[in-house]
Chains A and B, each alone.
Chain A
Amino acid sequence: MTPTVTLEVRDLSTHFHASGTTLKAVDGVSFSVARGKVLGLVGESGSGKTVTGFSIMRLVDPPGFIAGGSILFQGLDLARISNEEMRRLRGNRIAMIFQDPMMTLNPGLRVDTQMVETILAHESTSREEARQRARDALGMVGIPSPDERLRSYPHQFSGGMRQRVAIAIAMLHRPELIIADEPTTALDVTIQGQILAEVQKLTRQFGTSLIWISHDLSVVAALADEIAVMYAGRLVEQGEVGEVLDRPLHPYTKGLIDSVPSRNRRGAPLRQIQGMTPSLANLPSGCSFRTRCPRAAEICQQAPATREWLPGHTARCHRPHHLVEEPA
């Protein structure tokens, strides 16, 4: 029996028209998130992880557009439903937390105004009760004296507190799915620890599914059940967290893990990935990682397909680690 799936993304492609060419920011991405589970979506800048999140929320603006694939949310294909239907889901059953909480918060409105508005947008309840719920939500994410804080403006909060408010707003309607895009990247370590603790508590308490987008493997290791690694618009590896981190198949994943300082002897040169992320407009043919890959061979000039090499552990690579011999 498979557990209840909250979201299933199949073959999602999001493209951008730019000066005569089409950039494939997201190119045939498939994954699913089960109820109450956390998927860590990992990649470097420009790998398409944020665009993937935006596509699920249907927040991609022209010149970007969803070019193909389906986004099944409890049987509903988010790639096809009308704007009006999507508007009813967004903030209600699917919510997003951004890296910069000021993307969520209106600087000119008091926190209570914004929270009450969010509740009333999806439910017909009294203003009084909405306010009460907003107050409880703030308390739940660990904001001290929520009654007073409701009357504050966003600029009166610190960065960490603002992110808590954004999380509280995302949680208002007890959504089935939250997409969190680098929500702790701009925060200090101790504050990041606090936010991670809150998020963990909330997903456990309410069975919320979470897509945690991050470049930080250590945070994902600690938080996620599953991990999906993106490179140049494609998913290159996917599987259970421990499995992927302990036995990475794709050379890119292995390179990322190896370049984490704690994985290296102190003071020794870090193992590094050669070269730099290619521009989407100018990807190598075949496997897009092949020009940086230490294991590249002739066959890599043909694009590899995603293959389940080990039970539940897929990689888009012709010559994965552990399974195919090292090149001579």
Chain B
Amino acid sequence: MSSSPMVELVGIAKRFSKPAGIASRIARRFGGPERATTVHAIDGVDLAIARGQVLGLVGESGCGKSTLGRIVAGIMPPSEGEVRWQGRNVAGATRAEARKAKLGIQMIFQDPMSSLNPRMRVADIVGEAPLVHGLVGRREIDAYVDEQLVSAGLDPAYKRRYPHQFSGGQRQRISIARALAVQPQFLVCDESVAALDVSIQAQVINLFLKLREDLDLTYLFISHDLGVVEHLSDRVAIMYLGRIVEEAPTGEIFARANHPYTQSLLAAVPKIENRKTTFVAVKGEIPSPLNPPAGCHFHPRCPHAFARCRSERPAIRQIAPDHFSACHLNDEPR
């Protein structure tokens, strides 16, 4: 399985900064302090996704998982580092190549209502991109759109309707049909089933599984729902405040979680099999990425933290075959 990965991220960082306001700019002229605030949304991430694989990216709000998804999808350039699409750096590619890479990666968002144009009919939403990119001619477009709708599990008879005339689950199917219309090889799903009811969520997950089989797709599946990720993914990466803290095959991570954050995350997930559990709270809150703790970001909440965790950032390294974790405890004698 060590063929060249479909997508590779090397040393990716993303910073958002808010320029200093006029008052602090004037203050600086007179010797005031530097005031530009910077959020380190992503802080040195390496990640590879092999062809045909489903990588689940898990983390809590504000950990940077959506930003990472956007960088992979090419919607946002990284501040540092390289995104390689089938072995080639996207940033250095020619325009034609970059366009090809962009078409090859499509993204499906959480809320279809804000990612579908409410004033376009379904047929136009799905048909626009393949027409613009010359994938199909004007004459074949009708049949082509029907085909995409059918593969997303929608009845083509409804294609003259507008998005608001559909239910939440159907709307998500429209965004899936739109993504499929440009014949992508790779889908970035950002919390794509989070807003759906349980019974509808199961239908959409099944659709993703079927499309993977039928179209040989590769996925980056971003979610906070560990149950869904466990079901769908081959590998799982756990993110905390802009860094990947653990990465391993799905079975391995759920059976032998190494990082204390992963462990507490797994412990906090209620399971339908467990009745009348007494909940044990993880202490503390998710710190602000504006001002993350030094050293290991998780140390203020970690039950095992020691002096080194407060000062030194743990590197992510292999701790078992194909199992990577970023924790100083792995260096300690047990």
- Judging by beta carbons under 8 Å apart, are B231 and A221 in contact? no
B294 at interface, CB cutoff 8 A: no
Q: Which residue of B lies closest to A45 (CB)?
A: B197
- Judging by beta carbons under 8 Å apart, are A256 and B198 in contact? yes
- In angstroms, Cα B269 to Cα A243, docked, is 22
- In angstroms, Cα B199 to Cα A255, docked, is 8
Total count of chain A residues near the partner, CB < 8 A: 48
Chain B residues positioned under 8 Å from A222 (CB to CB):
270-271, 274-277, 279
- Judging by beta carbons under 8 Å apart, are B169 and A261 in contact? no
Taking CB atoms and an 8 Å cut-off, the chain B residues in 173-219 that contact chain A are: 197-203, 205-206, 209-210
- Judging by beta carbons under 8 Å apart, are B272 and A270 in contact? no
Which listed segment binds A: B104-112, B157-165, B221-229, B325-333?
Answer: B221-229
- In angstroms, Cα B269 to Cα A196, docked, is 11
Chain A residues positioned under 8 Å from B285 (CB to CB):
158, 160-161, 191
A67 at interface, CB cutoff 8 A: no
> Which of B270, B276, B280 lies at the interface centre, i.e. has the most chain A CB atoms within 10 A of its CB?
B270
B268 at interface, CB cutoff 8 A: yes
Given the known inter-chain contacts A193-B282, A241-B275, please indicate yes or no for A261 contacting B228, CB distance below 8 A: yes
What total count of A-B pairs have CB within 8 Å? 137
Chain B residues positioned under 8 Å from A273 (CB to CB):
199, 202
A284 at interface, CB cutoff 8 A: no
Total count of chain B residues near the partner, CB < 8 A: 46
- Minimum CB–CB distance from B189 to chain A (whole Å) comes to 15
- Judging by beta carbons under 8 Å apart, are B265 and A263 in contact? no
Chain A residues positioned under 8 Å from B89 (CB to CB):
none
> Which of A142, A158, A190, A256 lies at the interface centre, i.e. has the most chain B CB atoms within 10 A of its CB?
A190
- Judging by beta carbons under 8 Å apart, are B276 and A241 in contact? yes
- Judging by beta carbons under 8 Å apart, are A256 and B280 in contact? no
Taking CB atoms and an 8 Å cut-off, the chain A residues in 171-207 that contact chain B are: 188-194, 196-198, 200
- In angstroms, Cα B272 to Cα A221, docked, is 5
- Judging by beta carbons under 8 Å apart, are A270 and B202 in contact? yes
- Minimum CB–CB distance from B22 to chain A (whole Å) comes to 24
Chain A residues positioned under 8 Å from B232 (CB to CB):
261, 267
Given the known inter-chain contacts A44-B197, A191-B285, A266-B250, please indicate yes or no for A218 contacting B202, CB distance below 8 A: no
- In angstroms, Cα B284 to Cα A191, docked, is 9
- In angstroms, Cα B60 to Cα A188, docked, is 6
Given the known inter-chain contacts A158-B285, A272-B206, please indicate yes or no for A257 contacting B272, CB distance below 8 A: yes
Chain A residues positioned under 8 Å from B1 (CB to CB):
none
Chain A residues positioned under 8 Å from B227 (CB to CB):
218, 260-262
A276 at interface, CB cutoff 8 A: yes
Q: Which residue of B lies closest to A258 (CB)?
A: B202
Q: Which residue of B lies closest to A221 (CB)?
A: B272
Chain A residues positioned under 8 Å from B60 (CB to CB):
188-191
- Minimum CB–CB distance from B155 to chain A (whole Å) comes to 13
A113 at interface, CB cutoff 8 A: no
B167 at interface, CB cutoff 8 A: yes
- In angstroms, Cα B274 to Cα A188, docked, is 20
Taking CB atoms and an 8 Å cut-off, the chain B residues in 231-252 that contact chain A are: 231-232, 250-251
- In angstroms, Cα B274 to Cα A256, docked, is 17
- In angstroms, Cα B286 to Cα A61, docked, is 38
Given the known inter-chain contacts A189-B269, A192-B268, A261-B230, please indicate yes or no for A272 contacting B202, CB distance below 8 A: yes
- In angstroms, Cα B279 to Cα A219, docked, is 11
* Per-residue contact bits, chain B 261-297, to A (CB 8 Å; 1 contact, 0 not): 0001101111111111111111001100000000000
B61 at interface, CB cutoff 8 A: yes
> Which of B210, B230, B267, B273 lies at the interface centre, i.e. has the most chain A CB atoms within 10 A of its CB?
B273
- In angstroms, Cα B223 to Cα A306, docked, is 39
A327 at interface, CB cutoff 8 A: no
Q: Which residue of A lies closest to B269 (CB)?
A: A189
- Minimum CB–CB distance from B214 to chain A (whole Å) comes to 13
Chain B residues positioned under 8 Å from A221 (CB to CB):
270-275
- In angstroms, Cα B206 to Cα A69, docked, is 41
- Judging by beta carbons under 8 Å apart, are B270 and A277 in contact? no
- Minimum CB–CB distance from A31 to chain B (whole Å) comes to 19
Chain A residues positioned under 8 Å from B276 (CB to CB):
222-223, 225, 241
- Judging by beta carbons under 8 Å apart, are B270 and A276 in contact? no
Chain B residues positioned under 8 Å from A200 (CB to CB):
278-279
> Which of A219, A267, A271 lies at the interface centre, i.e. has the most chain B CB atoms within 10 A of its CB?
A267
- Judging by beta carbons under 8 Å apart, are B226 and A189 in contact? yes
> Which of A188, A200, A217, A256 lies at the interface centre, i.e. has the most chain B CB atoms within 10 A of its CB?
A188
- In angstroms, Cα B48 to Cα A144, docked, is 41
- Minimum CB–CB distance from B298 to chain A (whole Å) comes to 11
- Judging by beta carbons under 8 Å apart, are A194 and B281 in contact? yes
- Judging by beta carbons under 8 Å apart, are A193 and B268 in contact? yes
- Judging by beta carbons under 8 Å apart, are A266 and B230 in contact? yes
- Minimum CB–CB distance from A269 to chain B (whole Å) comes to 5
Q: Which 6 A-B pairs have the closest CB atoms?
A: A193-B268, A259-B202, A261-B231, A197-B279, A188-B60, A194-B281
Interface residues of A, Cβ cutoff 8 Å to B: 44-45, 142, 158-161, 188-194, 196-198, 200, 215-219, 221-223, 225, 241-242, 245, 255-257, 259-264, 266-267, 269-273, 276-277
Taking A193-B268, A215-B197, A276-B170 as given, write out 14 further A-B residue pairs in contact, using a Cβ cutoff of 8 Å, ordered by the A residue number: A45-B197, A190-B286, A191-B60, A193-B282, A215-B198, A218-B227, A221-B271, A222-B275, A245-B275, A259-B202, A262-B272, A266-B230, A266-B250, A273-B202
Report 12 cross-chain contacts, Cβ distance below 8 Å, ordered by A residue: A44-B199, A142-B281, A190-B282, A218-B271, A218-B272, A221-B274, A241-B275, A255-B199, A259-B198, A266-B251, A267-B231, A271-B202
